[in-house]
Amino acid sequence: MPRITNLPHLAEQVFGVPQYATRQLMDSVKAVLIPRIHGVDGGTILALADDTPEREDTAPQQGGGVAVIPVHGILVPRRGQISRACTELTSYEKVRSQLQAALNDPAVYEVVLDINSGGGAVSGCKELADYIYASRSAKPITAIVNFNAFSAAYFIASACSKVVLSQTSGVGSIGVIMEHMEASRWEDQVGFTFTTLYRGDNKNNGSPHEPLSEQSRTFLQALIDDAYETFTTSVAQYRGIDVQAVIDTQAGLYYGPRAINAGLADELSDPQTAINNIAAKYRPQPQQKSGIRLRAAAIDIKSKM
């Protein structure tokens, strides 16, 4: 039976902090969260805990010298899951531990990140991406975009040795977004009054109990600017392109050949063919099998990592 998360704790991870996420992802999270904060049962239970059992389809899979690590759904710093919903969570912490296990396994010659995500949290994203970038010298790490790698997901993909996407796969959304939820009028209607006592001029910045002040807006904008500079300069470093070219994307979404022309991806291929070709490199020639069998060898064997 899923546990209902402490909603204030979940809300503080969504509102008032910078996010490497698409506008659509932010709206989908709010559609679930806001009704429950206001006491309306939206029919979805949010569970976010390190003791949540890992879903079978999010476990790393290994075979044929290739380890495939899923990077799906909303990206968060620590493990979690959204139950009874069509959305899942992947944590930076978990991806790093799976990647480290694959890098340390002598039977693994190449690591594949199977990515389908609209992004997520700023916290922890840069650290994982830097770890991926530094690990490229040990083993090839390929990002297969299957079928979206936007914002935080692209931050991670850009750090890989190679980015492969299909004709209809998308990358980009290199930007930062933040939502400030101002609930003072609703609190007036239900009879709530919050009195906040604090020391330090910036301690109460972004309070949801009052309209956003100019001081708060300046403070929060500085957080966004810092996160944006981190994102753009990192992508430029990982991809070996000019930072201005990254800025000029203006958080746009790039699909198929257009993504390659913009320097955001390297190769055009459907996901199955891409994983077949990677697996074929490490299959002894006399025992080489058909593409479908190779794909099964690469991603259907359960990993012991």
Catalytic residues: 151, 203
Alpha-carbon distance of 140 to 271, in angstroms, equals 17
DSSP string over 85-140: SS--EEEHHHHHHHHHHHHH-TT--EEEEEEEE-EEESTTHHHHHHHHHHHTTTS-
Q: How far is CA 191 from CA 33, 181, 186, 195, 207, in A?
A: 21, 18, 9, 13, 18
DSSP-derived secondary structure letter, 50: T
Q: How far apart are the first and last CA of the chain?
A: 27
Q: Which two tokens stand for residue 52?
A: 């949540």
Alpha-carbon distance of 147 to 110, in angstroms, equals 21
Strand partners, 89: 74
Cβ atoms 46, 5 nearer than 8 A:
yes
Alpha-carbon distance of 8 to 243, in angstroms, equals 37
